[in-house]
């Protein structure tokens, strides 16, 4: 079976997008999932609170290393899901050829919201962010599954 390639994008690729990547990998076996940041400190680990909050959910993102979004990663992705409308706009300006496959995660599942950045927050802030991501990703899985082309 073919897999759908999903790219999550946030600002630094150390909090929201690695958590979203871990959640989707955990919940969607027909998805190839990556994450990147618009202003990522390349090779930085995921934030400790993000790792801890995901570990409590049975998901290990401890090996994650931040990466800056590139044209090749954008080209390979079937769907690009951003955390905010500002991320979406930035990607559409940076990679106009990919504009048609870029959505905010909320927009993709018909929920009008941006995902607040938990950066520098405590574990409760990260946990609340992970709760939102988990709910939206659960809504995204059926839609993503419906996009897979049968082999």
CA dist 146 to 31, 103, 112, 141, Å?
11, 17, 22, 9
CA distance 47 to 61: 10
Tokens of residue 145, six digits: 């599954």
Q: What is the CA radius of gyration of the chain?
A: 14
Active-site residue set = 10, 16, 117
């Amino acid at each position: 079976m073919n897999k759908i390639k999903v790219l999550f994008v946030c600002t630094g690729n150390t909090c929201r997008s690695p958590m979203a990547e871990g959640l989707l990998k955990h919940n969607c076996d027909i998805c190839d999932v990556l994450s990147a940041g618009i202003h990522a400190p390349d090779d930085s680990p995921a934030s400790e609170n993000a790792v801890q909050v995901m570990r409590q959910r049975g998901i290990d993102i401890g090996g994650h290393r931040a990466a800056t979004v590139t044209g090749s990663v954008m080209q390979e992705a079937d769907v690009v899901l951003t955390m905010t409308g500002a991320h979406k706009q930035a990607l559409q300006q940076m990679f106009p050829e990919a504009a048609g496959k870029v959505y905010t995660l909320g927009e993709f599942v018909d929920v009008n919201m941006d995902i607040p950045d938990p950066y520098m927050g405590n574990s409760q802030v990260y946990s609340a962010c992970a709760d939102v991501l988990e709910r939206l990703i659960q809504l995204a899985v059926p839609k993503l599954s419906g996009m897979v082309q049968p082999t």
